[in-house]
Every structure is written in structure tokens, then in C-alpha cells.
Amino acid sequence: MTPKVTTVPKADAERAATLRDELHRYNHAYHVLDDPLIPDAEYDRLFAELQRLEQAHASLKTIDSPTNRVGAPPLESFHQVKHRLPMLSLGNAFSEEELQAWHERLQGRLGDDENLIACSAEPKLDGLAVSLTYKDGVFVQGATRGDGFTGEDITTNLRTLAALPLRLQEHGAPAGQNSAGKNTKGKIQIPELLEVRGEVFMHKAAFTALNESQEASGQKVFANPRNAAAGSLRLLDSSITASRNLSIFIYALGEMSDDVASPAEHSAVLDWLQQLGFPVCDQRALCNGPQQCFSYYLSVQSQRQQLPYEIDGVVFKVNELALQQQLGFVSRAPRWAIAQKFPAEEAVTVLQSVDFQIGRTGALTPVARLEPVAVGGVTVSNATLHNMDEIERKDIRINDTVVVRRAGDVIPEIARVLLERREAKVEGGKRARRYKIKMPDTCPVCGSAVEQSADEAVARCTGGMSCIAQRKESIKHFASRRAMDIDGLGDKLVEQLMDEGLIDRVEELFGMSATALEALPRMGKKKVANLLQALEKAKATTLARFIFALGIREVGETGAANLATHFSDLARLRAAGIEELEAVPDIGPVVARSIVDYFSNQDYSTSVDALLEAGITWPVEQPQQSESDKPLSGHVYVLTGTLSHMKRDEAKQMLLAKGAKVTGSVSAKTTALIAGDAAGSKLEKAEKLGVAIMDEEQMRDLLGLS
Ligand code: IVH
């Protein structure tokens, strides 16, 4: 009997091969280069076409097919994989001195204390180490680190990572000009066996989105992006891994066959791997000696918050591979590499009590009073608890042992409760009782009733202007840099002025006498003169700033600017009804209601009149220009990062004047994101959504400034 042979039509086989090639290229451009070549819908169409061909002819499905990225049938368990070369750990340096000492030890071992040692410097990515094996350029196996000698086979899960090349090919550099390989044919050569190591991690934005959806569907929320990445990578069902948006950066070479020569320096190895299509972190640098290494550490530390992924330090590696060989290993860590970790951002302490702070719109924010603890180099004794929902979600109770987290200059918060400590019996002593945290019925400052409407997460003091806490906060806001920008009138001074009874309401700021001010403690003649001058100067403002300074609930900077452009006159704004307000860009029914409520409140209205009476003015804007004067009407921009020629606010005003809409967050409707220096999550989101990105120069062109 002859076996039944199904032949695949040649045209189908060729089409499938072409589709695989194209999809690999588009995928690499999108996920590794951040530079999409075709619209998403077109990618999806080609992907579906390949899927159809593979379904029709099973033999067309190769192990490097892009269709493998959607995941495979669930596994029973993971197989063990023995690493060809052990996966090592790294020694740590915790200070500049320790880094210096490391360099000196290396110089000693190499018998050369004249020359500085060149190091490849890279961020230390906070994820999980993996090893990837390629045979003839095709990804065949991926493994976890495990105990360093044996890991688990997570190939199918790793195949779902969009940035992981399923097949290697030359990218980017002109043929024959790369630093590696015997370039016999002028093309980069791919070794028969290539093993690389890297870190799998989850972007901060993907982590937030994952937790939101986990919570919405009543599933486990992850403590941090690292845990989320770990949890997602060790799933037996790779189709779930596929949905988790994991990322990867390659940071080292593992084993490699000798048919191709690898570069002689680690930095060149990374460049070469990048050319082969691997995602490699762009933050890397070459540093000579301890001082340059330490400056790199400081500079990465200062960018840490803006990076779209989490890092926990930097890694320095002796750049010359021959020197690495010479230096070798001690126990399980190489002598030629060291990690310099950032100070811990989490610490364990006890929640002693909870107070409620009143914001300018009356919102009650629970604040944790903690047993003081050092976190990331500073002592923390207070942390925000955000709102009651957050407390409930994390099940935080007074006397609980909690993990406090402080990242950069962000307000410290309680990351989680150590529940095992709640249950633990204290030996020989009594265990402190845990108390549930309750929202007070009345405002702790003014005693007015506290109310929470069904559609809001926050509860508010109903005292309005009669609550001194609300007045204090609104005056602080009024004086702040982005509002009236009253130089020298910071939060502390506002507190002092109110506590000493010099002012009671915002308008009284402009009626303070030098004599009364000079009578205050810590207020010299010079300081008083400066303050009065700053108040005088601040009176000349813009309508947008003034509206923002009023602190109307729900009206932020962008809303205020949009209102100013639309009404160009305060009287018109004050008289506007809900319907007219809703016609303003970005103003919806909730904001419109809040504006109407504000101006119809007698207390607030009196203040506004008195402020105008005190001499606050702004240039009268031209009423709505004709469409031809507004070349940017219908365009929506988002500004992010630091601009070098002007403040963001100025740029915003200029864009608005040309008819553009300026919003605070990137969406599919955004025309372009204008990204200054140190742009962070918005840039990432724009890239994800395929929204155009402009730099400052391009924006200046748009505004006719250059
Ligand atoms: S090199 C022999 N480079 O840090 C050197 N490791 O303790 C091997 N890591 O689990 C590591 N970013 O996964 C290296 N740029 C980087 C890294 C990095 C993160 C992790 C690695 C390992 C741990 C070492």
C-alpha cells in the first residue's frame, strides 16, 4: 500500500516562505527598532494569510514561524535543561569606594596599575535571566536560569515574546561593515550554534495594564513588574504568556560554535547581536576607569524614573574579552563584572496610625503614620494611602507590618501588608491588635459632614470655603508655579500666614501690609519686600493661569487653557451654562457641572470679584480667530519631557493660539506627541499606538519659530 502523500502546491509553499520573511522583518521593525514599517491592520492581514496557509498544509508550519507567537497547547510540566555554560550571578558594589576597590583589584590582577580599565556599562534590568539557543539562526530552545546549572525549558513561552527573534538575519548595518564575523560574502555570518543570555521583563505600562485587568476579572494582582514577568514566563499555557506583553533585552553571549569569529570586545558583541536582530538595551556606554563608571551610575540613576521599565542598578563588565578570560571567576561570579545596585526602595515597618488630610477641593486623603524607617536613603515616617478603595484592596490595618515603597521623588506609599506577620504570634508578648481604618463622618479640621457620592472614589468635606484646610490648600495652589507663580510664597509660608491670622481668604494676599509681615517670625525686611514685589508682579498674568489658579474642581491646566481660548473673557466664562461649556474641547458634563457650581457659589464668586478688584489682569485675547488664522485646528498634541528653548506651558499656549488642541494623555486621536528630554511613559504609549512623535525642533517649525 502506498502511503498517502499530500503535496503542497509550490505557489503556496513560496507564498508561506515570503510571508514568514516579511512578518519577521515587520515584527523586528516594530518591536525591536520601534519603527513600524506597515500599519497594524496590514500586519494582521498578512499574519492571518500565513495562518490560513499553515492550517491548510501542516507541513508549512516551521518552528520559526511568526504564528508560533500566539502560544501552543498547554504543557503538563517543564523539562529540565542543562546549561552549556553555567549561568552565573554577579558580585555587588554598594558605594563609590567599593567600585573603586573593584577597579584596583582588577588592575592588581592584570599587573597594570597605569591604565584605566575600559568597561561596558549597562543598566541592570529587573527581570529574569534566560538563555536562548539558536541553531543555524533558528530559535530552538529557551531556558530559565534555575540553579545556574540546570534550568527549565520554557521555549514555547519565549516564542510568544514579540521582541525575541525566532530567526536571525542581518539588520541595519550595511553588509560587510559590521565588526564581527568572517565576512566572506560581505554578509554577516550566522554561527551554527549560538547561545545568548538576556533578561525577560515587563514594561511598567504593561504591568499596570495587566494588574488592572487582573483586578477587573478578580484574579491575582502582581506586586511588581518583576513578579509579573516571572509569573507570566512560568505558565504551562503559553497562550496566556502571549497575552502578557513581556519584553526582553540580550546582554551577553553564551556558547558559540567556532565557524564564525565573535568580536573581541563585549561592547562589539552587543552591537553584533543587535545587527543579528536581537533587542539590546540602548542605555549602554563604554566607561574608562572607576570615575567614569560612577558617573554612568549616577546618570542612569537620575533617569531611572523616566525609563519605561524597572532597573535595580547598573552592571560593569571588563570590555576586552581576552582580559575577561584572564580574570576568570571566583565561586559563582565572574571577577570581570560587578553590579552596582541602587539603594533599596522598599523597607518594612509598622503602620502606627492613619490621619486624614483635606485637599483644596475637600477630598479626604488617608495618610499613614509609620514607625520611621530608611527607604532609598531617606527616613520615611509618612506615606500616602491614596483612598479607601486602595486601603480595602490591600487590606491595610493599623498595627500591620507593611512594606513601604519610595521611588525617586515620588511620595512614599504602602506597597503591601505582610500578612504572615499579622497572623504570627509574638513570643512571650501580646500581639498588637489590628484595627480597620474607617473614614471619619465629619471633617477632622472643620467638623463639617463628610460625604461620598456613589460615583466617586473619594469622600469630601462639605465645608467648602468655611473649612480652613480647604482654604489653605486652595491658596497654596493659587500661589504655585503653574498657577499664579508667586515667587517665594511656598506651602510653608501660606500655612504661617494663615496660622498667624494675616490672611483668611485668597484675595487678602494682595492686601497684606509690610508692617504686619515684618512682625512675623523669620520674616526680615528683605524677604517681605521680595514677597510684596512678587505679589505685585504676579497680578499681571494670563486668563488661562488665572482660571487654573482658582482651583475649580476637575479643571486642570489644559482645561483652563481650553476655557481661556474658547471664552477669551472671564465674564463670558462666568455666565456660561452647561451646554456652552460642553462645547469647549475636552470639557465633558462632569467638568461643566463643576464649573457652573463653582461660579454660582456665593463664597467663590466673592473671592473672584475681590481678586479682580485687587488688580489681577491679563492681556485681552483676540476673540476666536477665523479658521484661516488657525492652521492647526483639528490637530491634537500632547507635550511631554523637558523642552530646552521654552517652558512646556509656553509651547502649549502657542499651539492653542494656532487652533490646536492640547491634551494631557496620548490616545489614538493624538496627532503627534511632542517629546522633550527625558520623556517617559507618554513616549512609550505614543510608540505603542503608532502616534507620530515630534522633537522640539519640529515643533518650532510647526509654530513658525525656526
Ligand atoms: S551579566 C556573568 N548584564 O543580574 C554575568 N546581568 O546577578 C552575567 N542582569 O540574574 C550577568 N541586567 O539576569 C548581566 N545588563 C546585565 C544585566 C544582568 C540584569 C541580571 C541577570 C542575573 C543577575 C546577576
The atom number, within ligand 1, closest to the CA of 126 reads 19
pLDDT band at 136 (very low <50, low <70, confident <90, very high): very high
Contacts of 456 (CB under 8 A, 6+ apart): none
Contacts of 448 (CB under 8 A, 6+ apart): 442, 461, 462, 463, 466, 467
The answer, yes or no, to whether any atom of ligand 1 lies below 6 A from the CB of 337, is: yes
Pocket test for ligand 1, best of 83, 132, 199 (most atoms within 8 A of CB): 199
Q: What is the pLDDT of residues 514-569, one digit of tens each?
A: 999 999 988 999 999 999 999 999 999 999 999 999 999 999 888 899 899 999 99
| Better-predicted residue by pLDDT, 429 or 25 | 25
The atom number, within ligand 1, closest to the CA of 90 reads 7
Give the strand order in the sheet containing 91-93: 91-93, 337-341, 311-318, 118-125, 285-288
| Beta-strand pair 193-202/246-256 | antiparallel
pLDDT at 354 exceeding the cut of 80: yes
pLDDT at 423 exceeding the cut of 60: yes
* Residue bearing the CA closest to ligand 1, atom 12: 124
The answer, yes or no, to whether any atom of ligand 1 lies below 6 A from the CB of 246, is: no
Distance 599 CA to ligand 1 centre (A): 58
Q: What is the pLDDT of residues 82-114, one digit of tens each?
A: 998 999 889 989 889 999 999 999 999 999 888
pLDDT band at 424 (very low <50, low <70, confident <90, very high): low
Quote the pLDDT of residue 190.
Answer: 93
* Residue bearing the CA closest to ligand 1, atom 23: 89
Q: What is the pLDDT of residues 252-263, one digit of tens each?
A: 999 999 999 989
Bin 412: left if φ > 0, else alpha if -120 < ψ < 50, else beta: beta
- Weakest-pLDDT range from 76-80, 119-123, 310-314: 76-80
The model's pTM is: 0.59
* Residue bearing the CA closest to ligand 1, atom 10: 129
Average pLDDT over residues 280-292: 96
The answer, yes or no, to whether any atom of ligand 1 lies below 6 A from the CB of 315, is: yes
pLDDT at 700 exceeding the cut of 70: yes
The answer, yes or no, to whether any atom of ligand 1 lies below 6 A from the CB of 338, is: no
As annotated, the active-site residues are 124
Length of the chain: 706
Quote the pLDDT of residue 624.
Answer: 52
Quote the pLDDT of residue 425.
Answer: 58
User: What mean pLDDT, rounded, does the chain reach?
Assistant: 90
Quote the pLDDT of residue 181.
Answer: 43
Q: Do 397 and 437 form a contact (C-beta atoms < 8 A)?
A: yes
Q: What is the pLDDT of residues 182-224, one digit of tens each?
A: 444 457 789 999 999 999 999 999 999 999 999 889 888 887 8
pLDDT at 178 exceeding the cut of 50: no
Quote the pLDDT of residue 186.
Answer: 54
The answer, yes or no, to whether any atom of ligand 1 lies below 6 A from the CB of 129, is: yes
Distance 112 CA to ligand 1 centre (A): 27
- Weakest-pLDDT range from 52-56, 184-188, 326-330: 184-188
pLDDT at 622 exceeding the cut of 80: no
Bin 324: left if φ > 0, else alpha if -120 < ψ < 50, else beta: alpha
pLDDT at 335 exceeding the cut of 90: yes
> What is d(CA 490, CA 195) in angstroms, rounded to the nearest whole number?
57
- Weakest-pLDDT range from 115-129, 337-351, 528-542, 623-637: 623-637
Bin 245: left if φ > 0, else alpha if -120 < ψ < 50, else beta: left
Distance 273 CA to ligand 1 centre (A): 16
Distance 308 CA to ligand 1 centre (A): 19
Which of 142-151, 193-202, 653-662 is most confident? 193-202
> What is d(CA 244, CA 222) in angstroms, rounded to the nearest whole number?
12
| Beta-strand pair 193-202/346-358 | unpaired
The answer, yes or no, to whether any atom of ligand 1 lies below 6 A from the CB of 226, is: no
pLDDT at 174 exceeding the cut of 60: no
The atom number, within ligand 1, closest to the CA of 128 reads 13
User: For 455-607, where are the E strands, in sequence order?
Assistant: 460-461
Average pLDDT over residues 685-694: 91
Pocket test for ligand 1, best of 83, 88, 89, 90 (most atoms within 8 A of CB): 90
The atom number, within ligand 1, closest to the CA of 129 reads 13
Type and span of the H or E element at 47: helix 40-56
pLDDT at 626 exceeding the cut of 80: no
Residue with cell 573581541: 264
Quote the pLDDT of residue 428.
Answer: 61
- Weakest-pLDDT range from 348-362, 454-468, 513-527: 454-468
